[in-house]
Amino acid sequence: MSVPLELDGGGAAEVTSLDGERAVIMSDRAAAPGSRVIARGLGFTYKLKAHRSVRVGERFEVRGRLFDLTREARVALEAAVKP
C-alpha cells in the first residue's frame, strides 16, 4: 500500500516501500543524491536523504534514508505502508 505525501515547496509523492530507515517514494520531482526531501502526511513531517532518483514514466522513484523521525511518526508510517 502507498502513503500519499505533500512535498515541501509543492508537489506530491507517495511512500511505496519501507524497510527500517530505507524508503522508496514516487515523486513529482527528482532528488539529487545527498539532497533532502521533506514531505508531510499522516499528520507528521518526514525527511528523506536521497540516495538516487530514477525517472519512471512521468514521475521519479526516489530511494533514500529517513531521518529525524519521532517514534510516533515511524509507527504511523510503518502501519500505513504494510499491505
- Residue 56 counted as domain residue: yes
What pLDDT does 51 receive?
Answer: 98
Domain count, the chain: 1
Domain that holds residue 50: 3-65+77-81
Please give the chain's pLDDT, 83 residues, in tens: 789 999 999 999 999 999 999 999 999 999 999 999 999 999 999 999 999 999 999 999 999 999 999 999 999 999 999 87
- Residue 26 counted as domain residue: yes
What pLDDT does 82 receive?
Answer: 86
What pLDDT does 83 receive?
Answer: 73
Are 2 and 14 in contact, with CB atoms under 8 Å apart? yes
What pLDDT does 1 receive?
Answer: 76
- Residue 71 counted as domain residue: no
Residue given cell 500519499 in the structure block: 4
SS3 state of residue 8 = coil
Q: How far apart are CA 30 and CA 59, in angstroms?
A: 8
- Residue 50 counted as domain residue: yes
Are 64 and 22 in contact, with CB atoms under 8 Å apart? yes
